[in-house]
Amino acid sequence: MDSIIEQLKKEISGFKAEIAEEKIGTVIGLADGIATATGLADVASMEMVEFDDGAIGVALNLEEGKVGIMVLGEYRGIFEGMKVKALGRILDVPVGEEMIGRVVDPLGMPKDGKDLKTKQTYPMERVAPGVITRKSVHQPVQTGLKSIDAMVPVGRGQRELIIGDRQTGKTAVAIDTILNQKGQGMTCIYVAIGQKESKIAQIVARLEKAGAMEYTIVVSASASESAALNFLAPYAGCAMGEFFMDKGKDALIIYDDLSKHAVSYRQISLLLKRPPGREAYPGDVFYLHSRLLERSAKLNEDNGGGSLTALPIIETQGNDVSAYIPTNVISITDGQIYLESNLFNKGFRPAINVGLSVSRVGGAAQIKAMKKVAGSLRLDLAQFRELEAFTQFGSDLDEETQNRLELGKRIEKLLIQLQYSPMPVSQQVVQIYSATNGLMSDVIVEYISNFAEGLSEYIEQNNPELLKLINEKGEFDEKWEDGLKKSIDDYKSIADKSWFVEK
């Protein structure tokens, strides 16, 4: 007890009141979280200001004679005539290793009420790394989802959009990806923008249960928080990710979702009386997202070799990808994963539309083994879909067409994957190899998943060297192929006989 008093005395005696000149202004108006003030003569754009009641704001609009201020958080204590003080600091956010495992708000304050001490801060708005400091994407991010890792691969430093209607499993894809990063040296940042508190709580609980919070930061700006905080959340999350990238580490950031981000920005812009454009979004809504996503990069060795991979999410209305915000973000990102409600309702989950999903740079990042076995997968599926539509009229089919149809059905079935069950890439290679090479042609379509699951387990127990070979070297050779074929035959001999077509 005495020591506490002593320490307090020491701290208080170290305190020196300073008479400093403060730059101030006077509030002349306040509407829905946007305050206008006169004075504040030398305030900078994006400079933080403090109202006399302790509320913090950011100067956004600098006009002749007045300043438009976005109030962060509670604005009910502000009234006309109140003084506002410029803090001389551009908006920043605490960053560092200490934030891992925490749920924070967009200003970096912990939401659990516990202490959080960080040594460093990063500015929220930062210019993206330039051409000279970058390197092309060449290492994979393993999402653990068969259909993504095989057909729309994502590389470290890539920006891959997840797009689809509501209730199509967009967040599920993102969460599965986080779960699969365990032990892959990746720090994950999940940014919730305008989400329901209940959904965020559910996600955090799921991550905690799977032990994924050990390498994850959650930045949460829920639907009940002000538009200002929703608008800042992705930039704050990005700054936290950049910290790891600058340290030469790999980070993955998920923006869930940027449609709501654009809506928040529209609200702020309209209140600041900026002229509205298409769908009432302001003129700089493209730049709003491009400057954010451009900050994801793969740095070259001279700059530490770190990376920041972004998985932005966009929610479409009625499968309309040609709306304003979706087209903007599609054009900014390096590809998209397109989720469809039709497929979802048919039971294909993750409901990825393979035809419309692309990855513009990820192919270079796939491991060789996966590249080899999955090479024909996309084509096989596309041909199958075409034939399937054609054969619905029911006519006699030649043998080759029939084979293609059978293969297609099996591949389609194989790509179905339960939520929260990401799969290591080596297992994916094994399963996809056996499907595309016709080694599953004697298995009844309904039992494909049972067979694939059993096969994975069998190989893990009886031939772990095979998986090790893929995991470590990523290579694909004949010796490996022979070993796998033998293992599949062995498994077939012990597997449930009712799974197979009667000969």
Partner 1 sequence: MTITPKQYALTWYELLQDKKSDKNINQKMLTYLYKTGRLSKLAEILRNLEEIEHKAQGIEHVTVTSAREIADSEAKKLAKEILKTEITISTKINPELIGGIQIETKNKRWDLSIKNQLLSLRKQLK
Residues found near partner 1 in the complex (CB under 8 A): 8, 11-12, 14-15, 17-26, 28, 38-42, 64-65, 83, 85
Of the two residues 40 and 314, which places its CB atom closer to partner 1 in the complex? 40
Nearest distance in Å: CB 59, partner 1: 14
Q: Which two tokens stand for residue 111?
A: 């939401």
**Contact indicator for 410, 452 with CB cutoff of 8 Å:** no
Determine the Cα–Cα distance for residues 115 and 107; give it in Å rounded to an integer.
14
Q: Which is nearer to partner 1, 65 or 347 (CB)?
A: 65
Q: Rounded to the nearest whole angstrom, what is the least distance from the CB of residue 4 to partner 1 in the complex?
A: 12
For the record, the structure tokens of 161 come out as: 């959009």
Burial 153-180 (b: 16+ CB within 10 A, else e): bbbbbbbbbbbbbeebbbbbbbbbbbbb
Strands 216-222 and 186-195, sheet pairing:
parallel
- ∠ CA 372-173-245, nearest 5°, is 80
Residue 139 in contact with residue 156, Cβ under 8 Å?
Answer: yes
Q: Residue for token digits 């293609």? A: 404
Contacts 24+ apart (CB under 8 A), 266-270: 267/32, 267/227, 268/33, 268/34, 268/60, 268/70, 268/227, 268/228, 268/231
- 307 close to 251: Cβ distance less than 8 angstroms: yes
How far apart are the C-alpha atoms of 268 and 467, rounded to whole Å? 52
- CB neighbours of 352 closer than 8 A, spacing ≥ 6? 147, 148, 151, 152, 337, 338, 339, 340, 343, 415
Nearer to partner 1, 23 or 404 (CB): 23
Short-list 232, 212, 207, 213, CA closest to 221: 232
* SS3 at position 208: helix
**In the complex, what is the shortest distance from the CB of residue 101 to partner 1, in angstroms, rounded to a whole number?**
23
User: In the structure encoding, which two tokens stand for residue 103, read together?
Assistant: 């749920």
Listed in sequence order, the residues at least 6 apart from 493 whose beta carbon sits closer than 8 Å to its beta carbon are none
Shortest gap between Cβ of 7 and partner 1 (angstroms)? Answer: 10
Residue 116 Cβ vs partner 1, minimum distance, rounded to whole Å: 12
Which amino acids are annotated catalytic?
360
> Among residues 12 and 389, whose Cβ is nearest to partner 1?
12
Q: How far is the CB of 2 from partner 1 (least distance, A)?
A: 18
d(CA 162, CA 109): 28
Instruction: Encode 98-125: b = buried (16+ Cβ within 10 Å), e = exposed.
Output: bbbebbbbbbbeebeeeeeeeeebbebb
| Contact by Cβ (8 Å): 252, 188 | yes
**Closer residue to partner 1, CB minimum distance, 16 or 497:** 16
Q: Residue 40 or residue 251: which is nearer to partner 1 going by CB?
A: 40
Query: Is the Cβ of residue 10 or residue 497 nearer to partner 1 in the bound state?
Result: 10
Helix/strand/coil (H/E/C) assignment for every residue in 364-391: HHCCHHHHHHHCCHHHHHHHHHHHHHHH
Q: Which two tokens stand for residue 253?
A: 């950031």
Q: Are 104 and 219 in contact (CB under 8 A)?
A: yes
User: Shortest distance, CB of residue 106 to partner 1, whole angstroms?
Assistant: 20
Report the distance separating Cα 431 and Cα 151, nearest Å.
14
Residue closer to partner 1 by CB (options 78, 238) is: 78
Comparison of 22 and 386: residue with beta carbon closer to partner 1 = 22
Shortest distance (Å) from residue 331 CB to partner 1: 37
Measured from the CB of residue 120, what is the shortest distance to partner 1 in angstroms? 18
